[in-house]
């Protein structure tokens, strides 16, 4: 089996030897380690490794090198191995340069010299980055293969499901990859039955349902206990945080997710405002860490399982799933967040998954290589997606209703977008129609000031026009406001009907809904501050009150 590489570059021979020695001592069993004093020489080696089909997991480069600055080296190396992790070695005096590099080369870490003792300052960082890298990398022979048509909605659903559940796969387009034909020929599946999923053990499934795939790849879908202390609905940041705090505090905790863990945050190409991650991290990385953490504490995570309804029986809560199974619990935390608002233009739904995507930038980015694509919406998530897609597409056009992006997006994103030459902003405009045969081919834009309509070729349209609360499934047992957000705590007491539904002597707890023992946290709660940190905080807070409620029972 080929081992992945760690590449180290430092012009100071003494430092190079020291870091090479530490890295070799710790990682030589699982990685090949190559070290050089010259950035130019390292780039030659990297190109050679690419030609030989080798993989690189990590670059470690010094910043101050006379021949080429570390940032420049990492930028060039990133073009050849974009998935490899990147550490810049800096002295105190270079910290400013390192911080600038975070945006420029999407640096994963800057490590201050000296790093002794390595057990404290070097290995934990490197271990963390290598774990992240491994989570998304699988050698060819170990990965699941999906064979299908690039612009097929069914293939898109499978890709989105696997990537959301952090299962690495190899995508093979039947129309452009000759290898895909060979795999197809080795089965009795025809092109009309695609997508074909080939598992690691060589067995295959054609056009499977998501629960079928989940069962075959070992995701848990059924509860194992008769009764749980707390059942959490939705595995976005709020639900994941609630589950970590719940099981960490010894509660029997179950977490139900209808798609894949991560929620909206799982779609984020780069989260830059989460405390403690100065270089940012992707939604996938944050989710992987949170899921690992909650499983370690003993939470049962069921995915994909969609909650259909909640009823009350003898003071206990009965949660029914779409597949008819029921789970009993003493308390519930609803953390169903929000889902992308749909763009309401005729015919658009026909192309969902076939050129039109809600979120999914990271799943479909490779399909946009060298294409002209459009993004509808000008909020932070639209801008993050534009930045990510600009690395693949020839041209990314952001279509916004207002006349400036700065009215809807954070400053740092506006700045990044302005400095990215292949991103254009189309102001005062709406997408009003779309057309294509089997897949999206063009869209029509209307300038809302001049009323002028323009039809443009579009390989893909990514839609980020806001969200609406994930409460469509909730019956009237739980009080919502006119927009569908769940009302909690003191806000409930402002309702005229408060005394008709609230019979306890105490007031509702801060995150408690109109039903005692059912709590809401994150974006789904009326009055919550949208955002990952707030959702995480709210998830943790809900558990504090779940405990109080359990003591009262
Ligand atoms: C593309 C994008 C980028 C973003 N980037 C940032 C950022 O950089 N920084 C930041 O602070 N915020 C960011 N946000 C906002 C942030 O992600 C949200 O505020 C946050 O995810 C809300 O968390 P939540 O847990 O409340 O809900 P969500 O993240 O919406 O999660 C809800 C979960 O519940 C599940 N669910 C819904 N209904 C059911 C049901 N009936 N049964 C089972 N499961 C169900 C959903 O599938 C989903 O996984 C971004 C949002 C998007 C869309």
Q: Which atom of ligand 1 is nearest to the CA of 340?
A: 53
Please tell me the residue having the least CA distance from ligand 1 atom 30: 337
Cα–Cα distance for residue pair 512/526, rounded to 1 Å: 11
Cα–Cα distance for residue pair 211/435, rounded to 1 Å: 33
Encoding tokens for residue 199?
């598992």
Q: Ligand 1 centroid to 531 CA: how many Å?
A: 8
Instruction: Tell me the pLDDT band of 282, cut-offs 50, 70 and 90.
Output: confident
Q: Which atom of ligand 1 is nearest to the CA of 522?
A: 26
Neighbours of 358 (CB within 10 A): 17
Cα–Cα distance for residue pair 118/528, rounded to 1 Å: 42
Instruction: Tell me the pLDDT band of 72, cut-offs 50, 70 and 90.
Output: very high
Span of 104-108, 397-401, 527-531 with lowest mean pLDDT: 104-108
Q: Which atom of ligand 1 is nearest to the CA of 361?
A: 1
In the chain, % of residues over pLDDT 90: 70
Contact 251, 274 (CB under 8 A): no
> Helix, strand, or coil here: 373?
strand
Find, among 118, 101, 477, 97, the residue nearest to 313 by Cα.
Answer: 477
In tens, the pLDDT along 190-244 reads: 888 899 999 988 899 998 999 999 999 889 999 999 999 999 999 999 999 999 9
Cα–Cα distance for residue pair 151/156, rounded to 1 Å: 8
**Which of 221, 231, 236, when mutated, tests ligand 1's pocket best, judged by the most ligand atoms within 8 Å of its CB?**
236
**Which of 255, 264, 319, 542, when mutated, tests ligand 1's pocket best, judged by the most ligand atoms within 8 Å of its CB?**
264
- pLDDT, residue 205, reads 94
Q: Ligand 1 centroid to 405 CA: how many Å?
A: 23
The mean predicted confidence, pLDDT, of the chain is 92
Q: Ligand 1 centroid to 231 CA: how many Å?
A: 18
Cα–Cα distance for residue pair 356/366, rounded to 1 Å: 15
In tens, the pLDDT along 535-544 reads: 999 999 999 9
Q: Ligand 1 centroid to 523 CA: how many Å?
A: 7
Find, among 300, 465, 472, 287, the residue nearest to 374 by Cα.
Answer: 465
Q: Which atom of ligand 1 is nearest to the CA of 256?
A: 43
DSSP letters, 132-190, are HHHHH---GGGSEEEEE-TT-HHHHHHHHHHHHTT--EEEEETTT-HHHHHHHHTSS--
Residue 248 has pLDDT above 90, yes or no: yes
> For the residues 108-115, what does the mean pLDDT come to?
89
Cis before 114? omega within 30: yes
- Render the burial of 492-517: b for 16+ CB within 10 Å, e for the rest: beeeeeeeeebeeeeebbbbbbbbbb
* CA of residue 252 relative to chain centroid, distance: 27
- Render the burial of 383-404: b for 16+ CB within 10 Å, e for the rest: bbbbbbbbbbbebbbbbbeeee
Please tell me the residue having the least CA distance from ligand 1 atom 53: 264
Q: Which atom of ligand 1 is nearest to the CA of 238?
A: 25
In tens, the pLDDT along 371-396 reads: 999 999 999 989 999 998 998 999 99
Q: Ligand 1 centroid to 30 CA: how many Å?
A: 36
**Which of 302, 470, 471, when mutated, tests ligand 1's pocket best, judged by the most ligand atoms within 8 Å of its CB?**
470
Q: Which atom of ligand 1 is nearest to the CA of 473?
A: 41
Furthest-apart CA pair in the chain: how many Å? 77
Q: Ligand 1 centroid to 275 CA: how many Å?
A: 17
Please tell me the residue having the least CA distance from ligand 1 atom 37: 336
Q: Which atom of ligand 1 is nearest to the CA of 533?
A: 11
- pLDDT, residue 139, reads 67
Neighbours of 323 (CB within 10 A): 12
Cis before 257? omega within 30: no
Return all residues near 92 (Cβ < 8 A) that are at least 6 apart: 112
Contact 36, 109 (CB under 8 A): no
Q: Ligand 1 centroid to 338 CA: how many Å?
A: 6
Q: Which atom of ligand 1 is nearest to the CA of 532?
A: 11
Please tell me the residue having the least CA distance from ligand 1 atom 19: 531
> In degrees to the nearest 10, what's the CA dihedral of 231, 234, 238, 241?
50
* Cα-based distances in Å from 303 to 67, 208, 211, 230, 522: 51, 16, 8, 17, 20
Q: Ligand 1 centroid to 384 CA: how many Å?
A: 15
Q: Ligand 1 centroid to 446 CA: how many Å?
A: 31
**Which of 276, 278, 337, when mutated, tests ligand 1's pocket best, judged by the most ligand atoms within 8 Å of its CB?**
337
Contact 35, 5 (CB under 8 A): no
Contact 27, 2 (CB under 8 A): no
Return all residues near 33 (Cβ < 8 A) that are at least 6 apart: 5, 6, 8, 20, 23, 24, 27
Q: Ligand 1 centroid to 102 CA: how many Å?
A: 25
Encoding tokens for residue 2?
């080929």
- Ranges of beta strands (E only) in 360-513 are 372-376, 395-399, 423-426, 429-435, 442-447, 453-457, 460-463, 467-469
3-state SS track over 313-354: ECCEEEEEECCCCEEEEEEEEECCCEEECCCCCCCHHHHECC
Q: Ligand 1 centroid to 282 CA: how many Å?
A: 14
In tens, the pLDDT along 298-321 reads: 999 999 999 999 999 988 999 999
Please tell me the residue having the least CA distance from ligand 1 atom 49: 263
Cα–Cα distance for residue pair 496/479, rounded to 1 Å: 12
Encoding tokens for residue 171?
């995508």
Q: Ligand 1 centroid to 234 CA: how many Å?
A: 9
Cα–Cα distance for residue pair 522/337, rounded to 1 Å: 6
Place of tokens 């897609």: 389
Cis before 81? omega within 30: no
Q: Ligand 1 centroid to 53 CA: how many Å?
A: 37
The DSSP element (H or E) to which 358 belongs, if any, is strand 356-358
Q: Ligand 1 centroid to 337 CA: how many Å?
A: 5
- pLDDT, residue 359, reads 77
Structure pTM? Answer: 0.81
Please tell me the residue having the least CA distance from ligand 1 atom 7: 271
Alpha helices by DSSP H, 31-83: 39-51, 70-80
**What are the pocket residues of ligand 1 if the criterion is a CB atom closer than 6 Å to any ligand atom?**
233-239, 256-259, 263-265, 267-268, 271, 273, 306-307, 335-338, 359, 380-381, 384, 470, 473, 522-524, 530-533, 535
Cα–Cα distance for residue pair 72/104, rounded to 1 Å: 9
In tens, the pLDDT along 467-514 reads: 899 999 997 889 999 999 999 999 999 999 999 999 999 999 999 999
Residue 140 has pLDDT above 70, yes or no: no
Q: Ligand 1 centroid to 236 CA: how many Å?
A: 5
């Amino acid at each position: 089996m080929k081992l992945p590489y760690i590449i180290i570059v430092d012009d100071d021979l003494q430092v190079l030897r020291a870091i090479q020695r530490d890295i070799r001592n710790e990682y030589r069993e699982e990685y090949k380690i190559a070290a050089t004093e010259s950035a130019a020489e390292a780039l030659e080696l990297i190109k050679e490794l690419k030609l030989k089909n080798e993989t690189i997991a990590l670059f470690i480069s010094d910043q101050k090198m006379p021949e080429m600055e570390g940032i420049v080296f990492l930028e060039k190396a990133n073009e050849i191995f974009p998935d490899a992790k990147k550490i810049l070695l800096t002295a105190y005096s270079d910290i400013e340069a390192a911080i600038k590099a975070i945006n420029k080369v999407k640096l994963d870490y800057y490590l201050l010299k000296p790093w002794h003792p390595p057990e404290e300052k070097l290995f934990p960082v490197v271990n963390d980055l290598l774990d992240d890298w491994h989570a998304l990398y699988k050698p060819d022979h170990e990965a699941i293969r999906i064979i299908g048509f690039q612009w097929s909605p069914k293939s898109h659903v499978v890709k989105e499901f696997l990537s959301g559940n952090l299962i690495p796969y190899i995508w093979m387009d039947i129309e452009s990859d000759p290898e895909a034909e060979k795999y197809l020929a080795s089965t009795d599946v025809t092109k009309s039955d695609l997508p074909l999923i080939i598992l690691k053990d060589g067995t295959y499934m054609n056009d499977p349902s998501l629960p079928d795939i989940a069962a075959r790849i070992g995701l848990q879908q059924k509860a194992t206990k008769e009764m749980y202390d707390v059942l959490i609905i939705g595995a976005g940041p709020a639900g994941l945080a609630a589950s970590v705090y719940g099981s960490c505090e010894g509660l029997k905790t179950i977490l139900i997710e209808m798609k894949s863990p991560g929620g909206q945050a799982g779609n984020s190409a780069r989260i830059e405002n989460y405390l403690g991650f100065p270089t940012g991290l992707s939604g996938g990385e944050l989710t992987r860490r949170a899921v690992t953490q909650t499983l370690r504490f003993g939470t049962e995570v069921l995915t994909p399982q969609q909650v259909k309804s909640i009823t009350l029986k003898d003071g206990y809560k009965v949660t029914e799933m779409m597949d008819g199974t029921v789970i009993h619990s003493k308390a519930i935390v609803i953390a169903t967040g929000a889902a992308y608002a749909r763009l309401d233009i005729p015919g658009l739904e026909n192309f969902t998954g076939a050129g039109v995507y809600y979120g999914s930038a990271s799943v479909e980015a490779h399909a946009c290589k060298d294409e002209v694509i459009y993004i509808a919406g000008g909020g932070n998530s639209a801008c993050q997606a534009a930045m990510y897609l600009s690395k693949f597409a020839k041209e990314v056009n952001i279509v916004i209703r207002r006349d400036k992006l700065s009215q809807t997006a954070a400053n740092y994103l506006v700045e990044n977008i302005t400095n990215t030459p292949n991103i254009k902003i189309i102001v005062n405009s709406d997408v009003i129609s779309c057309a294509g045969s089997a897949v999206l081919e063009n869209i029509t834009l209307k300038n809302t000031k001049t009323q002028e309509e323009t039809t443009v070729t579009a390989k893909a349209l990514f839609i980020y026009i806001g969200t609406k609360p994930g409460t469509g499934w909730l019956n009237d047992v739980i009080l919502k406001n006119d927009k569908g957000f769940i009302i909690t705590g003191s806000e409930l007491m402002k309702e005229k009907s408060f005394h008709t539904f609230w019979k306890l002597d105490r007031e509702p707890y801060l995150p408690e809904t109109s039903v005692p023992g059912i709590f809401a946290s994150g974006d789904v709660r009326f009055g919550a501050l949208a955002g990952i940190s707030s959702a995480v905080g709210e998830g943790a807070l809900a558990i504090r009150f779940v405990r109080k409620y359990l003591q009262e029972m």
